[in-house]
């Protein structure tokens, strides 16, 4: 059986709005079926093995026998040529194409002494007068609707004049 050029047939099928794909198990998939006519079905049946061969070759072109990198890459010949040229420039510049070996992280052994975590130090206030200021602010705060609203966040507005003065005094004492 002589080889048939099926590229025009594939072009005709694609021109009819059909998508042709070869599944991994070698089965030809044609979609959408609504675009298939009886003539197109006959054409596909007649040239099915050649269509599958052409589509498979178009996806995975035969690599050059002497080029191992071409066999491994799925790049087009134009990109492969550009990649080879870039590799040649890198080697000509005296650089390596392989990435440098990264040192492996050392794992802690079970015999290693791990220091215990530092204990949190209690907060020391310079001025011990903060407690009465806090108490005065809280007594005002829970009776003042403006200060309660301001305590929910800055987007709700400022404290009232008395609350603002009490809050500032309390904050200054604890810092």
pLDDT by position in tens, the chain (length 175): 456 788 888 888 888 888 888 888 888 888 888 888 888 888 888 888 888 888 887 665 555 544 444 444 556 677 777 777 777 766 776 666 666 666 666 665 566 566 676 776 665 555 566 777 788 878 888 888 888 888 777 677 788 888 888 778 777 777 6
Query: Structure pTM?
Result: 0.35
The backbone torsions φ and ψ at residue 19, rounded to the nearest 5 degrees and listed phi first, read -105, 125
Q: For position 174, what pLDDT does the model report?
A: 73
Q: For position 113, what pLDDT does the model report?
A: 66
Count of all residues that appear for the chain in the document: 175
Q: For position 60, what pLDDT does the model report?
A: 57
The backbone torsions φ and ψ at residue 117, rounded to the nearest 5 degrees and listed phi first, read -65, 145
In the chain, domain spans: 7-59, 130-174
Residue 28, CB half-sphere, CA atoms under 13 Å: how many? 21
Between the alpha carbon of residue 69 and those of residues 34, 62, 79, 98, 118, the distances in Å are: 42, 12, 12, 14, 56
Q: For position 72, what pLDDT does the model report?
A: 46
Q: CA 48, CA 41: separation in Å to the nearest integer? A: 10
Q: What angle do CA 61, 67, 72 make, to 5 degrees?
A: 60
């Amino acid at each position: 059986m002589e080889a048939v050029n099926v590229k025009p047939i594939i072009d005709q099928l694609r021109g009819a709005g059909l998508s042709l794909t070869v599944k991994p198990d070698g089965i030809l998939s044609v979609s959408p079926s609504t675009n298939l006519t009886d003539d197109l079905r006959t054409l596909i049946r007649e040239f099915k093995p050649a269509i599958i061969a052409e589509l498979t070759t178009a996806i995975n072109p035969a690599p050059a026998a002497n080029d191992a990198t071409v066999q491994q890459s799925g790049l087009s010949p134009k990109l492969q040529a550009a990649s080879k040229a870039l590799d040649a420039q890198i080697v000509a510049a005296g650089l390596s194409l392989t990435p440098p070996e990264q040192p492996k992280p050392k794992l802690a052994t079970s015999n290693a002494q791990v220091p215990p975590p530092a204990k949190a130090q209690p907060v020391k206030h310079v001025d011990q007068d903060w407690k009465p200021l806090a108490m005065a602010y809280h007594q005002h705060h829970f009776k003042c609707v403006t200060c309660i609203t301001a305590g929910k966040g800055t987007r709700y507005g400022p404290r009232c004049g008395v609350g603002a003065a009490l809050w500032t005094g309390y904050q200054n004492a604890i810092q």
